[in-house]
Structure formats: structure tokens, C-alpha cells
Amino acid sequence: MTDKFSKRLSRLGLVVKELTGDMQLSRREITDTHMLVVTPEKWDVMTRKSSDAALTSLVKLLIIDEIHLLNEDRGAVLEAIVARTLRQVERSQSMIRIVGLSATLPTYKDVAVFLRVNVDRDLFYFDNAYRPVPLETAFIGVLGNNQNKQRVMMLEITYDKVLERVRAGHQVMVFVHSRKDTYKTARHLLEKAQQEGTTGEFEPSEHPKYGQWQKIVSKSRNPEIRELFAGGFCVN
């Protein structure tokens, strides 16, 4: 994100910097930066420290991507950041605009209320009418109170649906709730294909660009990418 915004905003003379646990910036560097790309945890720490109050007071716009994570393990951090920002606005009487973004948020009105957004004026919801390609939606219910059994059943259904679409000649993308689940899900699908004897359905070697991509993947430092690619799977 830092590289992307840097390229797009450089023509305007705007400086974009990354501020995470792995990338530290001095006070001078932060002051000279127009846009900071931070993790929620890092910004939570900074806004908690009174010594950084002068820096955080420079913020005029706070964009929270993947705002639906409020319902995940990291939700408490996002909630604290929003509450602290709203408190800063009340205390300083200076406006800080808060923007929440999500592509998978069914309860967007509830989140808008939490962010103190004027639902009638400042809430923007883009339904399927804005898509250049029509989207067909179907819901599959998974019953049971045991979460482990629900997860297993969901993976079984996912495999069946993936195999069905692959056999129809399509590529398939499976979206999950967290980054750590990407490899777990892909690995399960690959193992299921091996158990069912359907690995040939996912065999990528016949694709005309297989050799080109194989060379690129072979240089990857991520062993999971190399392992999955051989079976016709990948994660992002």
C-alpha cells in the first residue's frame, strides 16, 4: 500500500511512509510525512502514549481498511482507536474525518452508527448494480453448534463447489476471513483432491504459461507458494 500510494501521490509532492513494528520513523520523518500507512496495533500504541500526542494531533483523516475486522480478534484494537479518535475530536474541537472501508460487511449501518456517520448523508453502499459483471449470489446453511464440525462441513462444501466449477472449465477464487486461513484452506482443498483422486482436475502443467510461472514461483521464498503451485493452487 505504501508503494502504491507513493507512486500515485508523488506527482502532487506528497510523502507516504510506512509505520509498523518492522519500520520505525523518527519524529522529524513523521512530521514531514503527509500520509502514514500503519497497522492498527502500531497506531493504537502511538495514540496511547502522551509523548506522541503532538504527532497524533496532526492527523486530519483516518482511513480504516477492512473495518469488518471489528468482529474478529483484532476488533478490540480498532474499537479503541475509533473511541480514542472521537474523544480527541471532542477534547480538541478539531475535526478528524474517519472513513471505514469494507467489501464484506453486511451490518454496514451498525458500523456507520458506531463511527458516528450520518447514515442518510455520509454512508455509501455499493450493491451489485455497480458491478461491470453481474454477480450471482447463493447462500448455503451449515447447521450445528460445534464450531469444529461447522468448519469441517464448510470446507467439504467448498471443495465440492470448487471441483464443480473447475470441471466446468472455470478458475475459482475462495475468500476467507483471515490471512492465516488462506493456506489452511488451500492445503485442505489440495489434500481433499489427493484423497478423492481428483488432482488431475487441478493439474496446471497443461496451461500454455505454466513454464513461465513455474520459473517465477520457484524463486519464491515462501515454501507454501511453491508447494501449492505444483498442485494447481495458490494463496494471496
Domain boundaries, the chain: 39-130, 147-229
Residue 103 C-alpha from the chain's centroid: 9
Q: Please, what is the Cα angle at 180 between 174 and 182, to 5 degrees?
A: 20
Please tell me the predicted confidence (pLDDT) of residue 51.
66
> What is the assigned CATH class of domain 39-130?
alpha beta
Among candidates 18, 116, 98, 108, which has minimal Cα distance to 71?
Answer: 108
Blockwise average pLDDT, block size 10, the chain, 236 residues: 93 91 78 91 85 79 93 90 91 91 89 93 87 83 84 92 93 86 91 93 88 88 86 88
Do residues 165 and 172 touch, judged by C-beta distance below 8 A? yes
Please tell me the predicted confidence (pLDDT) of residue 128.
78
**Cell numbers standing for residue 229:** 503451485
What single string gives the DSSP state of each residue in 120-137?
Answer: TTT-----GGG-SS----
Sign, CA torsion 75/81/86/91: positive
Classify each residue of 59-88 as buried b or exposed e, where b means 16 or more C-beta atoms within 10 Å of its C-beta: eeebebebbbbbeeebeebbeebbeebeeb
Cite the beta strand spans of the chain per DSSP E: 16-19, 35-38, 61-64, 97-100
Please tell me the predicted confidence (pLDDT) of residue 177.
79
